[in-house]
Amino acid sequence: MLQDQSTSARAVVLAFINALNTEDFDAARQTIHDDLHFAGVLGSRDGADTYLAEMKKMRLKYDIKKVFADDEEVSLFYDIQMGDKTIFSSGWYQVENGKIKSFRVIFDPRPLLENAA
């Protein structure tokens, strides 16, 4: 049974990333809880609609390098295309009842901060 949960959580997270990559924000919305919590290097967001409103503006692209799944938790290594920068990152996703409940993304923000300076 744990294998099925892990596979299911993995499928949910990969569907979410694919939806973001194809800018299918309605499909992305179907994979996340209403009260989604996102924590990142440059800030956090609460609520699925708040998070997706930001993603619609940013239009990030993800190139997945590795997927790790353990029960209802999935971790990804990926390159994220942020404007003209490609940033190696890691995301840790918690899936509950077939939808992403929360996730955290970490990366080295220095290349982005250099642009802002």
Segment holding 24, helix H or strand E: none
For residue range 1-51, list pLDDT tens digits in order. 344 555 599 999 999 999 999 999 999 999 999 999 999 998 999 999 999
Integer-rounded Cα Rg, in Å, for the chain is 14
Give the integer Cα–Cα distance in Å for 12 and 9: 5
For the chain, which residues make up each domain, given as ranges?
Answer: 2-116
Q: What integer pLDDT is reported at residue 98 of this predicted model?
A: 95
Average confidence (pLDDT) over 46-73: 96
Q: Per-residue pLDDT averaged across 92-98, rounded?
A: 97
> Which residue in 51, 49, 42, 50 sits closest to 93, CA to CA?
51
Query: For the CA atoms of 44, 103, 61, 116, what is the dihedral angle to 10 degrees?
Result: 30
Give the model confidence (pLDDT) of 101-117 as tens digits: 999 999 999 988 886 66
What pLDDT is recorded for position 2?
44
Whether 67 and 84 have beta carbons less than 8 Å apart is answered as no
At the second CATH level, the architecture of 2-116 is: Roll (3.10)
